[in-house]
Protein backbone atom coordinates (compact mmCIF):
# COMPACT_ATOMS: atom_id res chain seq x y z
CA UNK A 1 0.00 0.00 0.00
CA UNK A 2 1.23 3.49 -0.85
CA UNK A 3 2.07 4.51 2.68
CA UNK A 4 0.35 7.59 4.09
CA UNK A 5 -1.82 8.47 1.08
CA UNK A 6 -3.46 5.26 -0.15
CA UNK A 7 -6.07 5.36 -2.90
CA UNK A 8 -9.36 5.25 -0.99
CA UNK A 9 -12.65 4.70 -2.85
CA UNK A 10 -15.79 5.67 -0.92
CA UNK A 11 -18.98 4.07 -2.25
CA UNK A 12 -21.61 6.46 -0.82
CA UNK A 13 -21.88 10.10 0.22
CA UNK A 14 -20.61 10.57 3.78
CA UNK A 15 -20.94 13.63 6.07
CA UNK A 16 -19.04 16.50 4.49
CA UNK A 17 -16.53 16.98 7.31
CA UNK A 18 -15.58 13.29 7.09
CA UNK A 19 -15.14 13.48 3.33
CA UNK A 20 -13.00 16.60 3.70
CA UNK A 21 -10.79 14.90 6.30
CA UNK A 22 -10.40 11.88 4.01
CA UNK A 23 -9.41 14.18 1.13
CA UNK A 24 -6.80 15.81 3.38
CA UNK A 25 -5.31 12.54 4.57
CA UNK A 26 -5.66 10.14 1.65
CA UNK A 27 -5.90 10.02 -2.11
CA UNK A 28 -9.69 9.82 -1.93
CA UNK A 29 -12.39 9.27 -4.58
CA UNK A 30 -15.82 10.35 -3.35
CA UNK A 31 -19.29 9.50 -4.63
CA UNK A 32 -21.08 12.86 -4.84
CA UNK A 33 -24.19 11.36 -6.46
CA UNK A 34 -24.73 9.01 -3.47
CA UNK A 35 -26.22 6.43 -5.86
CA UNK A 36 -25.38 2.93 -4.59
CA UNK A 37 -22.72 1.38 -6.82
CA UNK A 38 -23.77 -1.38 -9.21
CA UNK A 39 -21.97 -4.71 -9.05
CA UNK A 40 -19.90 -3.69 -12.10
CA UNK A 41 -18.90 -0.44 -10.36
CA UNK A 42 -17.97 -2.31 -7.18
CA UNK A 43 -15.82 -4.69 -9.22
CA UNK A 44 -14.11 -1.72 -10.85
CA UNK A 45 -13.55 -0.18 -7.41
CA UNK A 46 -11.95 -3.29 -5.88
CA UNK A 47 -9.72 -3.63 -8.94
CA UNK A 48 -8.17 -0.22 -8.41
CA UNK A 49 -8.57 0.80 -4.76
CA UNK A 50 -6.04 0.24 -2.00
CA UNK A 51 -8.79 0.91 0.51
CA UNK A 52 -12.50 0.48 -0.12
CA UNK A 53 -14.99 2.26 2.15
CA UNK A 54 -18.34 0.54 1.57
CA UNK A 55 -21.61 0.68 3.48
CA UNK A 56 -24.31 -1.87 4.15
CA UNK A 57 -25.87 -1.17 0.74
CA UNK A 58 -22.82 -2.65 -1.06
CA UNK A 59 -22.70 -6.43 -1.45
CA UNK A 60 -19.00 -7.27 -1.32
CA UNK A 61 -19.31 -11.00 -1.83
CA UNK A 62 -16.80 -13.56 -3.09
CA UNK A 63 -17.75 -12.89 -6.72
CA UNK A 64 -16.85 -9.20 -6.30
CA UNK A 65 -13.71 -9.96 -4.29
CA UNK A 66 -12.56 -12.39 -6.99
CA UNK A 67 -11.80 -9.26 -9.05
CA UNK A 68 -9.82 -7.50 -6.29
CA UNK A 69 -6.57 -6.08 -7.56
CA UNK A 70 -3.29 -6.75 -5.79
CA UNK A 71 -3.35 -3.24 -4.32
CA UNK A 72 -6.57 -3.79 -2.34
CA UNK A 73 -5.48 -4.23 1.26
CA UNK A 74 -8.26 -2.84 3.42
CA UNK A 75 -12.05 -2.73 3.44
CA UNK A 76 -12.90 -0.07 6.01
CA UNK A 77 -16.65 -0.50 6.36
CA UNK A 78 -18.70 2.59 7.25
CA UNK A 79 -21.00 0.79 9.67
CA UNK A 80 -21.01 -1.87 12.35
CA UNK A 81 -22.81 -4.75 10.62
CA UNK A 82 -20.60 -6.61 8.15
CA UNK A 83 -23.04 -9.20 6.82
CA UNK A 84 -22.77 -7.62 3.35
CA UNK A 85 -19.05 -8.47 3.19
CA UNK A 86 -17.65 -11.96 2.70
CA UNK A 87 -15.06 -11.67 5.46
CA UNK A 88 -13.50 -15.07 4.81
CA UNK A 89 -13.08 -14.36 1.10
CA UNK A 90 -11.50 -11.00 1.97
CA UNK A 91 -8.94 -12.49 4.37
CA UNK A 92 -8.24 -15.31 1.92
CA UNK A 93 -7.08 -12.59 -0.48
CA UNK A 94 -5.05 -10.84 2.20
CA UNK A 95 -7.57 -8.03 2.65
CA UNK A 96 -8.18 -6.75 6.18
CA UNK A 97 -11.73 -5.72 7.14
CA UNK A 98 -12.68 -3.12 9.76
CA UNK A 99 -16.00 -1.73 10.99
CA UNK A 100 -17.27 1.00 13.35
CA UNK A 101 -18.40 -0.67 16.57
CA UNK A 102 -19.56 1.10 19.71
CA UNK A 103 -20.52 4.47 18.27
CA UNK A 104 -24.06 3.40 17.26
CA UNK A 105 -24.91 1.69 20.51
CA UNK A 106 -26.83 4.47 22.27
CA UNK A 107 -28.70 5.64 19.19
CA UNK A 108 -29.80 2.12 18.31
CA UNK A 109 -30.81 1.35 21.89
CA UNK A 110 -32.81 4.60 22.04
CA UNK A 111 -34.70 3.66 18.89
CA UNK A 112 -35.35 0.18 20.25
CA UNK A 113 -37.04 1.79 23.25
CA UNK A 114 -38.99 4.10 20.92
CA UNK A 115 -40.27 1.04 19.03
CA UNK A 116 -41.13 -0.87 22.21
CA UNK A 117 -43.16 2.11 23.38
CA UNK A 118 -44.43 2.93 19.90
CA UNK A 119 -45.93 -0.53 19.39
CA UNK A 120 -47.19 -1.02 22.96
CA UNK A 121 -48.81 2.42 23.10
CA UNK A 122 -49.97 2.53 19.46
CA UNK A 123 -48.00 5.68 18.74
CA UNK A 124 -48.08 5.50 14.94
CA UNK A 125 -51.79 4.67 14.87
CA UNK A 126 -52.55 7.57 17.20
CA UNK A 127 -50.46 9.91 15.10
CA UNK A 128 -52.28 8.82 11.94
CA UNK A 129 -55.65 9.34 13.64
CA UNK A 130 -54.72 12.82 14.91
CA UNK A 131 -53.62 13.87 11.41
CA UNK A 132 -56.59 12.30 9.64
CA UNK A 133 -59.14 14.87 10.80
CA UNK A 134 -61.35 11.96 11.88
CA UNK A 135 -60.59 12.01 15.58
CA UNK A 136 -63.81 12.80 17.41
CA UNK A 137 -62.33 13.41 20.84
CA UNK A 138 -61.17 11.59 23.96
CA UNK A 139 -63.03 8.55 25.13
CA UNK A 140 -62.40 6.17 28.04
CA UNK A 141 -61.86 3.27 25.68
CA UNK A 142 -60.18 5.12 22.84
CA UNK A 143 -56.70 4.10 21.59
CA UNK A 144 -55.98 1.69 24.43
CA UNK A 145 -52.56 0.16 24.33
CA UNK A 146 -50.55 -1.80 26.86
CA UNK A 147 -48.43 -0.60 29.79
CA UNK A 148 -44.82 -1.71 29.52
CA UNK A 149 -43.93 -1.35 33.20
CA UNK A 150 -43.83 -4.76 34.85
CA UNK A 151 -43.57 -6.67 31.57
CA UNK A 152 -40.87 -9.18 30.65
CA UNK A 153 -38.39 -8.20 27.96
CA UNK A 154 -36.42 -10.97 26.23
CA UNK A 155 -33.28 -9.67 24.54
CA UNK A 156 -31.90 -11.80 21.75
CA UNK A 157 -28.19 -10.93 21.64
CA UNK A 158 -26.65 -9.36 24.73
CA UNK A 159 -23.77 -7.49 23.14
CA UNK A 160 -23.21 -3.75 23.40
CA UNK A 161 -26.61 -2.79 22.01
CA UNK A 162 -28.55 -5.51 23.85
CA UNK A 163 -26.96 -4.41 27.12
CA UNK A 164 -27.75 -0.75 26.41
CA UNK A 165 -31.38 -1.72 25.70
CA UNK A 166 -31.46 -3.64 29.00
CA UNK A 167 -30.13 -0.62 30.95
CA UNK A 168 -32.74 1.68 29.45
CA UNK A 169 -35.49 -0.90 29.97
CA UNK A 170 -34.73 -1.15 33.68
CA UNK A 171 -35.66 2.53 33.90
CA UNK A 172 -39.05 1.68 32.39
CA UNK A 173 -39.65 -1.06 34.95
CA UNK A 174 -39.22 -4.00 32.57
CA UNK A 175 -37.69 -7.21 33.84
CA UNK A 176 -34.71 -8.33 31.79
CA UNK A 177 -34.25 -11.76 30.23
CA UNK A 178 -31.71 -12.63 27.57
CA UNK A 179 -30.41 -15.30 25.27
CA UNK A 180 -26.85 -15.04 24.01
CA UNK A 181 -24.16 -17.32 22.66
CA UNK A 182 -22.25 -16.71 25.88
CA UNK A 183 -23.59 -15.83 29.28
CA UNK A 184 -22.57 -12.25 30.21
CA UNK A 185 -20.43 -11.48 33.26
CA UNK A 186 -22.11 -12.01 36.60
CA UNK A 187 -21.64 -8.33 37.50
CA UNK A 188 -23.72 -7.29 34.48
CA UNK A 189 -26.39 -9.88 35.26
CA UNK A 190 -26.52 -8.58 38.82
CA UNK A 191 -26.64 -4.94 37.77
CA UNK A 192 -29.53 -5.64 35.39
CA UNK A 193 -31.14 -8.35 37.51
CA UNK A 194 -31.11 -10.25 34.24
CA UNK A 195 -32.19 -13.84 33.74
CA UNK A 196 -30.12 -15.88 31.29
CA UNK A 197 -31.88 -18.44 29.08
CA UNK A 198 -29.69 -20.98 27.40
CA UNK A 199 -32.74 -22.14 25.45
CA UNK A 200 -34.13 -19.50 23.11
CA UNK A 201 -37.29 -21.57 22.70
CA UNK A 202 -37.92 -21.54 26.43
CA UNK A 203 -37.28 -17.81 26.69
CA UNK A 204 -39.46 -16.59 23.85
CA UNK A 205 -42.42 -18.67 24.98
CA UNK A 206 -42.52 -16.67 28.22
CA UNK A 207 -41.84 -13.06 27.18
CA UNK A 208 -44.11 -10.07 26.62
CA UNK A 209 -41.60 -8.24 24.43
CA UNK A 210 -38.77 -9.64 22.30
CA UNK A 211 -35.97 -7.35 21.14
CA UNK A 212 -33.65 -8.61 18.39
CA UNK A 213 -30.16 -7.25 18.98
CA UNK A 214 -27.86 -9.93 17.57
CA UNK A 215 -25.92 -9.45 14.34
CA UNK A 216 -26.90 -11.30 11.18
CA UNK A 217 -24.48 -14.16 10.59
CA UNK A 218 -24.97 -17.60 9.01
CA UNK A 219 -25.83 -18.84 12.53
CA UNK A 220 -28.51 -16.21 13.16
CA UNK A 221 -30.24 -16.27 9.76
CA UNK A 222 -33.95 -16.90 10.53
CA UNK A 223 -33.12 -17.53 14.16
CA UNK A 224 -36.71 -16.47 14.66
CA UNK A 225 -38.02 -19.06 12.23
CA UNK A 226 -41.68 -19.86 11.57
CA UNK A 227 -41.43 -22.67 14.13
CA UNK A 228 -39.96 -20.41 16.82
CA UNK A 229 -42.35 -17.54 16.15
CA UNK A 230 -45.18 -19.95 16.87
CA UNK A 231 -43.85 -20.26 20.43
CA UNK A 232 -44.56 -16.58 21.12
CA UNK A 233 -47.53 -15.70 23.25
CA UNK A 234 -50.39 -14.00 21.33
CA UNK A 235 -50.09 -10.86 23.45
CA UNK A 236 -46.36 -10.48 22.80
CA UNK A 237 -44.62 -7.99 20.54
CA UNK A 238 -41.32 -8.14 18.63
CA UNK A 239 -38.93 -5.29 17.97
CA UNK A 240 -36.03 -5.57 15.52
CA UNK A 241 -33.32 -2.92 15.15
CA UNK A 242 -30.61 -5.36 14.07
CA UNK A 243 -31.02 -7.07 10.71
CA UNK A 244 -34.18 -8.24 8.96
CA UNK A 245 -32.66 -11.60 8.06
CA UNK A 246 -32.75 -12.73 11.70
CA UNK A 247 -36.56 -13.05 11.46
CA UNK A 248 -38.52 -15.06 8.89
CA UNK A 249 -40.40 -11.98 7.69
CA UNK A 250 -43.02 -13.88 5.70
CA UNK A 251 -43.90 -16.00 8.74
CA UNK A 252 -43.95 -12.95 11.01
CA UNK A 253 -46.28 -11.14 8.60
CA UNK A 254 -48.65 -14.12 8.49
CA UNK A 255 -48.78 -14.27 12.28
CA UNK A 256 -49.30 -10.53 12.66
CA UNK A 257 -52.16 -10.67 10.15
CA UNK A 258 -53.70 -13.60 12.02
CA UNK A 259 -53.20 -11.74 15.34
CA UNK A 260 -51.12 -14.66 16.63
CA UNK A 261 -48.63 -12.00 17.74
CA UNK A 262 -49.88 -8.64 19.02
CA UNK A 263 -47.50 -6.33 17.20
CA UNK A 264 -44.06 -5.59 15.80
CA UNK A 265 -41.70 -2.63 15.58
CA UNK A 266 -39.35 -3.09 12.67
CA UNK A 267 -36.50 -0.83 11.60
CA UNK A 268 -34.94 -3.48 9.37
CA UNK A 269 -36.31 -5.88 6.77
CA UNK A 270 -35.31 -9.15 5.21
CA UNK A 271 -35.19 -7.78 1.65
CA UNK A 272 -34.34 -4.13 2.25
CA UNK A 273 -35.32 -1.67 0.92
CA UNK A 274 -38.32 -3.77 -0.12
CA UNK A 275 -40.93 -4.21 2.60
CA UNK A 276 -43.50 -6.96 2.35
CA UNK A 277 -46.68 -5.13 1.11
CA UNK A 278 -48.81 -7.22 3.49
CA UNK A 279 -46.75 -5.91 6.39
CA UNK A 280 -47.28 -2.34 5.23
CA UNK A 281 -51.05 -2.82 5.39
CA UNK A 282 -51.09 -3.72 9.08
CA UNK A 283 -52.03 -1.38 11.91
CA UNK A 284 -50.31 -3.39 14.61
CA UNK A 285 -46.82 -2.66 13.28
CA UNK A 286 -44.52 0.35 13.40
CA UNK A 287 -42.22 0.38 10.39
CA UNK A 288 -39.11 2.52 10.05
CA UNK A 289 -36.65 2.85 7.15
CA UNK A 290 -33.50 1.45 8.82
CA UNK A 291 -32.89 4.63 10.80
CA UNK A 292 -32.02 3.44 14.31
CA UNK A 293 -28.46 4.70 14.05
CA UNK A 294 -29.35 7.77 12.02
CA UNK A 295 -28.11 10.65 14.14
CA UNK A 296 -25.71 13.31 12.92
CA UNK A 297 -23.47 12.61 15.92
CA UNK A 298 -23.42 8.89 15.20
CA UNK A 299 -22.61 9.33 11.52
CA UNK A 300 -19.70 11.67 12.39
CA UNK A 301 -18.39 9.19 14.97
CA UNK A 302 -18.61 6.42 12.38
CA UNK A 303 -16.63 8.52 9.92
CA UNK A 304 -13.97 9.24 12.51
CA UNK A 305 -13.61 5.54 13.17
CA UNK A 306 -13.22 4.85 9.45
CA UNK A 307 -10.53 7.55 9.18
CA UNK A 308 -8.66 6.15 12.21
CA UNK A 309 -8.83 2.60 10.85
CA UNK A 310 -7.44 3.66 7.46
CA UNK A 311 -4.77 5.96 8.90
CA UNK A 312 -3.57 3.36 11.40
CA UNK A 313 -3.41 0.73 8.67
CA UNK A 314 -1.66 3.04 6.19
CA UNK A 315 0.90 3.87 8.88
CA UNK A 316 1.72 0.17 9.15
CA UNK A 317 -0.14 -0.67 12.35
CA UNK A 318 -3.02 -2.97 13.19
CA UNK A 319 -6.27 -0.97 12.84
CA UNK A 320 -8.34 -0.85 16.05
CA UNK A 321 -11.60 -2.23 14.64
CA UNK A 322 -10.55 -5.32 12.74
CA UNK A 323 -13.33 -7.84 12.09
CA UNK A 324 -11.93 -11.36 11.97
CA UNK A 325 -13.60 -14.39 10.39
CA UNK A 326 -13.43 -16.13 13.77
CA UNK A 327 -15.72 -13.45 15.26
CA UNK A 328 -18.62 -14.44 13.02
Compute the least distance from the CB of residue 106 to ligand DGY, in Å: 13
| Binding test (CB under 6 A) with ligand DGY, winner from 64, 85, 104, 307 | 104
Measured from the CB atom, the residue of 79 and 319 that comes closer to ligand DGY is: 79
- Is 272 catalytic? The answer is yes
**Residue 6, interface with ligand DGY (CB under 6 A)?**
no
The one catalytic residue in 177, 179, 243, 299 is 243
Confirm whether 290 is a catalytic residue: yes
276 is a site residue for ligand DGY (CB under 6 A):
no
Span of 73-81, 137-145, 186-194, 317-325 interacting with ligand DGY by CB under 6 A: 73-81
Q: Report in angstroms how near the CB of residue 289 gets to ligand DGY at its nearest.
A: 11
Q: Rule CB under 6 A: say whether 60 interacts with ligand DGY.
A: no
Residue 113: CA count within 13 A, CB half-sphere: 19
Q: Residues 98, 220, 293, 309: which binds ligand DGY (CB under 6 A)? A: 293
Q: d(Cα 120, Cα 107) in Å, to the nearest integer?
A: 20
State which residue, 56 or 155, has the beta carbon closest to ligand DGY: 56
Nearer to ligand DGY, 103 or 207 (CB): 103
Binding site for ligand DGY (CB under 6 A): 56, 79-81, 104, 290, 293
Which residues belong to the active site? 243, 272, 290
Amino acid sequence: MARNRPLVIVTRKLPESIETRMMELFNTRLNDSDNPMSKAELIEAVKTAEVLVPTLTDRIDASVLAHAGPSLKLIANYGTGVDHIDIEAAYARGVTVTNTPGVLTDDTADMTMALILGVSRRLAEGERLARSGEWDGWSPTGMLGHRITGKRLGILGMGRIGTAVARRSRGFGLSIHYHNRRRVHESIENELEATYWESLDQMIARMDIISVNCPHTPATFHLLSARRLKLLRPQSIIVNTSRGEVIDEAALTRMLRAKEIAGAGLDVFEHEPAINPKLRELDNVVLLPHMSSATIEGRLDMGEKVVINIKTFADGHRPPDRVLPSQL
